[in-house]
Every structure is written in structure tokens, then in C-alpha cells.
Amino acid sequence: MLVARGVDEEAQQLQKQGALDLWLSCQGQEAAQVGSALAVGAEATVFPAYREHAVALLRGVAPEELLAQWAGRTFCGWDPRRLRFFPYTLVLAAQTLHGVGYSIAQRLQGQEDFVVVYIGDGATSEGDMSEAMNLAAVESASVLFVCQNNGWAISKPAEEQMRTSLAERARGFGIESARVSGQDPEAVFSSCSRAAAHVRQQRAPYLVEIPVARIHGHSTSDAQEIYRSREDIARARAADPVSAYAARLSGLGLVDSAWFDAVDAEVRELRERLMKEYA
């Protein structure tokens, strides 16, 4: 979570300097991403949206590779097949059908068919998501949908896009589901571990909805202060899962200042590498 935060901070800086064209921050969503990515394990094939930077880093995407697309150097940046981490998909919800189709095709060929699809709350309004959920349900596809609900589709609040939770909507398609706070990585890990076990054992889809607090604007091209109240932004900052989890582990005596210093040094080195490559 700390490494993802550092890479995200550096990418935002590089965008300000003009080295990147755009950056979509994952700050506030690290616990949801790390907890879910660790729970599903290395065999799962992941179909991300475009903000899953902590998942990408855990799958083995190098920070330089992660930034390449946003510098306009490539359409992807990493090897999707080797890492089992598909390219970021900016066409909202297209990855849901890619993921379900991939899982079905893998099963037909007798190959590993466990797929994880990440999606935002706003993108679930796309027809593709409904098609993907229905197809996954009727084909009993081994797909885990992970919806990070950060409450916003750019400036459109989630309350204006849906009348039920995503977890409830999934059940309407015949997909079992759970809802777990994205504040605590361990709670996310437990919930997603149970969900992954369900997908593997039942060979059936599952959806986990994870409410998260988006700390920054939608992207570096967005000024969230225009449409979002100061209190709401302050609440998101105060609920920061990275500092909360760091404080909790310190309080329990599980990590000490030497451990934090070592992580800091690792993050500094990564940031310097990124500066050299892109600035």
C-alpha cells in the first residue's frame, strides 16, 4: 500500500511537470486493491479498469511499465499474458465482457478459467456490465467481479446512478455477492478470499462491492472542488486507509520505525527511478 501510494504521488508530480499526459490516482483505494489482489492469488487472470495501480504492482508490473501508457508511449506497457494482468481498459465496462468471454474460452480449452474483473461504480451503468453479469450467471463462469465503489463517476455521484447497491443488483442476476468496507485491507482480504473460494469450488461467478473513499479528483484533468463539498473531500482524506493501517500495525507492535524506514527507502528509490525515466 505504501509503495502504491509513493508511485501514485510520483506519477501525479510527473503529470504536473508535463511528463505524463494524464494520471488517474488510486489514492484511498489501496486497501481494496491490495486486499483483493492478495486474496485471489497469482493464478487468477485479472481484467482491470484503469485505476488498479496497486493491483498492477502486485502482479509484477514495474512502475516504469505502469506509467508508460500515461506518457503516451504505448497502449499497454507490460506483458499481459505473462503477468495475467490485462491492459487497462478506458472504454468503461468493456473489460467485463472481455473477462467473462476469456474465462468461458479458457474453460472450453481445459485451461485455468479463474478471472477477476475490476470495475468502478459508474461503469456498472453501462449495458456491458449487465450483459457480462447475465452471461457469467447463465454460463456459470468462474469470474469474480470486484467493484470499487468510490461514490463517483467523475462528477456524477453514485446515488444518482443506482437505486440499489451493486451487491444487491448482482443477486438479481443470480450472482452471489458481498459488500465490505475498503477501509481495512484485512477485511477486504477475508471477504475476497471467501469469494474466490466460492468461484473456484462452485465454478460460479461472485461479486464483491467495496465502498472506498476517493481522495483526489477523478484524474489530473479534474477539479473535484467544483462539484464536491469540502467536508466530503476532508472525510475521504481523514479515512485514508494507508495511514490508518500503518497506525494500526504500529500500535500492535507488528512493525517498527526501522521497517517504515526500509519501505521509505524502497519508495524513494522507485520514485528516483521514475524521475530519471520520465522527467
Ligand X SMILES: Cc1ncc(C[n+]2csc(CCOP(=O)(O)OP(=O)(O)O)c2C)c(N)n1
SS (H, E, C) the chain: CHHHHHHHHHHHHHHHCCCCCCCCCCCCCHHHHHHHHHHHCCCCEEECCCCCHHHHHHCCCCHHHHHHHHHCCCCCCCCHHHHCECCCCCCCCHHHHHHHHHHHHHHHCCCCCCEEEEEECHHHHCHHHHHHHHHHHHHCCCEEEEEEECCEECCEEHHHCCCCCHHHHHHHCCCEEEECCCCCHHHHHHHHHHHHHHHHHHCCCEEEEEECCCCCCCCCCCCHHHCCCHHHHHHHHHCCHHHHHHHHHHHCCCCCHHHHHHHHHHHHHHHHHHHHHHC
Residue placing its CB nearer to Mg ion in the complex, 10 or 52: 52
Contact pick of 6, 28, 63, 122 for ligand X (by CB under 6 A): 122
Residue placing its CB nearer to ligand X in the complex, 145 or 152: 152
Q: Is 54 in the site for ligand X (CB under 6 A)?
A: no
Least Å distance, CB 187 to ligand X, is: 20
List binders of ligand X among 260-279 (CB under 6 A): none
Q: Of the ranges 105-113, 120-128, 251-259, 267-275, which one interacts with ligand X (CB under 6 A)?
A: 120-128
Contact pick of 42, 105, 138, 154 for ligand X (by CB under 6 A): 154
Per-residue contact string for residues 33-52; x = within reach of ligand X by CB under 6 A: ------------------x-
Least Å distance, CB 14 to ligand X, is: 20
Least Å distance, CB 55 to ligand X, is: 13
Residue placing its CB nearer to Mg ion in the complex, 78 or 152: 152
Q: Of the ranges 114-122, 181-189, 237-245, 249-257, which one interacts with ligand X (CB under 6 A)?
A: 114-122
Q: Of the ranges 90-98, 168-176, 242-250, 253-261, which one interacts with ligand X (CB under 6 A)?
A: 90-98
Q: How far is CA 41 from CA 38, 103, 234, in A?
A: 6, 16, 34
Least Å distance, CB 40 to Mg ion, is: 21
Least Å distance, CB 117 to Mg ion, is: 15
Tell me the C-alpha distance between 153 and 150, whole Å. 8
Q: Is 152 in the site for ligand X (CB under 6 A)?
A: yes
Q: Of the ranges 60-68, 150-158, 179-187, 200-208, which one interacts with ligand X (CB under 6 A)?
A: 150-158
Binding site residues, ligand X, CB under 6 A = 51, 90-92, 120-123, 150, 152-154, 218
